[in-house]
Amino acid sequence: MKPLSKSERTRAYIIERTAEIFNTKGYAGTSLTDLTEATRLTKGSIYGNFENKEEVALAVFDYNYEKVFSIISSEMSKQHTWKGRLLVYYHVYSEQQKYPFPIGGCPLLNTATEADDTHPALRKKVADALTVWRSNLMTIVRKGKEAGEFHQDTDEEQLAVTIMAAIEGAIMIANVTGKMHYRKAIMRSVKKMMEEIFV
């Protein structure tokens, strides 16, 4: 693998050091001072590597999303059935504290709630990530049906988007109320919904 250039290393450092800030404070709440304090770099150093704050925020979203994607992928690789792969989402999101999630929680939820009306580029990032998630879930269900593990009349897209909505809703409700048992309760319903399609 080709070693990173100094510029690439600096970009990676800025992204890593500011990931927590953007994921907790949001795009609008993150200031240039936050970036310089977190990185201990000057404004010139930051904007010598990124055109503006938006470009940093977009790169940080990719970084945080990749963390979540890697957790799911790692857990998927341990499974040998489509039922097991589907249940990965239940296990990971109901026991989120056991995994190295980005500080501040789910970047999809955090970014979506801020960017849906105010930031088209970030909104597109979230929309694209949700499309990938939906596609992955639909593939699991389709393959599970082909393998005879799931009921044939299961609507792949309906199940996928319902699981996504329930998981993100569970995170949001728990975060807003501070009651983590709400998330666990909703996730138990997600598990039940998944098990209902099992043959």
Tell me whether residue 143 is in a domain: yes
- Residue 141 pLDDT: 98
Tell me whether residue 20 is in a domain: yes
As for how many domains the chain has, the answer is 1
Tell me whether residue 110 is in a domain: yes
- Residue 74 pLDDT: 97
Burial of residue 184 (CB within 10 Å: 0-12, 13-18, 19+) is: middle
Tell me whether residue 46 is in a domain: yes
Which CATH number goes with the domain that contains 25? 1.10.357.10
- Whether the predicted pLDDT of 140 surpasses 80: yes
Q: Which domain holds residue 32?
A: 6-195
pTM of the shown model: 0.91
User: Which residues of the chain form beta strands (DSSP E)?
Assistant: none
Per-residue pLDDT tens digits for 17-73: 999 999 999 998 999 999 999 999 999 999 999 999 999 999 999 999 999 999 999
Contact indicator for 134, 157 with CB cutoff of 8 Å: yes
Q: What is the mean pLDDT of the segment spanning 114-132?
A: 88
Share of the chain above pLDDT 90, in %: 83
Backbone torsion region of residue 30, taken as left when φ is above 0, otherwise alpha when ψ lies between -120 and 50, otherwise beta: beta
Tell me whether residue 1 is in a domain: no
Per-residue confidence band for 113, with pLDDT thresholds at 50, 70 and 90 = confident
Mean pLDDT, the chain, rounded, equals 93
> Distance (Å, rounded) from C-alpha 171 to C-alpha 187?
10
